[in-house]
Amino acid sequence: MAGHAAIVTRIRFEFDEYALPVEYRRLGGTDLDLSSIVLGCGNFGGIGSAPELFGQGENEAEAFAIMDRAVAAGINVFDTAASYGGGRSESSIGSWRRRHDAPVLLSTKVYWSVTGDPADRGLSRERILRELEGSLARLQADRVDMYLTHEPDPETPIEETLRALDELVAAGKVGAIGVSNVGGAQLDEALDASDRHGLPRFGWVQNEYSLLRRESERDVLPLCAREGLGFTPFSPLCGGWLTGKYSRSQAFPDDSRMALRGEPYSDLVNERTFQGLERFQAAAVERGVEPAELAIAWVLSHPQVASVIVGPRRPDQLDAALRAAEIRLSEQERDELAGLFT
């Protein structure tokens, strides 16, 4: 299925001073309709799955405010993982759900340890079944709509993983299944195993994708297009690099991703990146938008992207993502913006 997934409807919510658009798009070959902006909850109670940062990030009250804002804007998917914040992310969502009767799709992932134990990880059958029960308890839910493998597991045959996920789908505890942080060869192997053994296929891919992280264009995105899979990228702002908050002449802000957990982006600290960012910021000024809006719009405009996952640290940071949903970029404009970093 090439091109954008079908757009089911478009509605507008009065959101503070703005009327902001929310599109709902069908996710690959699943029966799920996702808002074009998905709320990433990786900073609730921690910074992703990093054990040394468990307990940091947004506390429950701050997480509640972000979720309130997201639902008011029409966002209908909360994306998390069992390991985010050592389970605190899922627990915050569960507590919020107990107080709200909102039709939100739950998306969570399995692979990393909830306790931070480096030996407790992977995608074996026993572990997947056990970990889902923990996720359901923290989310205060009977099922999750979307369940993803968080990382490939080279120590477990993909057939074993797929059979475990099939059990959960058959039991009604999981809706659709997806895969995250995967390469093209790994994805091809998984799809082939599903076809050979008559097992459910992964319905979409969740990989990092931004103007500064374009690896998925090599093989994953073409494979998604050929096989009819959805694509829901995360980190469209590349850890804050595309917001304009980082410069060569100033230290990283104390609460920024680079200050808290900058290792995944250390390769960007160079003159070539800063020159590209200056050109990109000028392009945003020329269009009368913020750099963050233009960066998210660039990701959303890829024909294979169903939704983009954003992880705001404050409620007002959602505004840029929602404004980005109104920006339409042509293929030529996408190429021109990408060329600013070459």
State residue 93 phi and psi, 5-degree precision: -65, -40
Burial letters 13-27, b for 16+ CB under 10 A, else e:
eebeeeebbbbbbbb
The span from the CA of 151 to the CA of 156, in Å, is: 12
SS3 at position 283: helix
Are residues 136 and 142 in contact, defined by beta-carbon separation less than 8 angstroms? yes
The span from the CA of 322 to the CA of 324, in Å, is: 5
Q: Two tokens at 228?
A: 């009819």
Pairing outcome for strands 204-206 and 77-79: unpaired
Name 143's Cβ contacts closer than 8 Å, sequence gap at least 6: 136, 172, 173, 174, 175
Q: Is 246 an annotated catalytic residue? A: no
**Tokens 């920006």 sit at which residue?**
327
Please pick, among 84, 147, 209, 246, the residue that the annotation labels catalytic: 84
The span from the CA of 129 to the CA of 147, in Å, is: 12
The span from the CA of 114 to the CA of 110, in Å, is: 9
Q: Taking the CB of residue 340, how many other CB atoms lie within 10 A of it?
A: 16
Pairing outcome for strands 204-206 and 230-231: parallel
Q: Two tokens at 133?
A: 């029960």
The span from the CA of 52 to the CA of 211, in Å, is: 29
Catalytic residues: 84
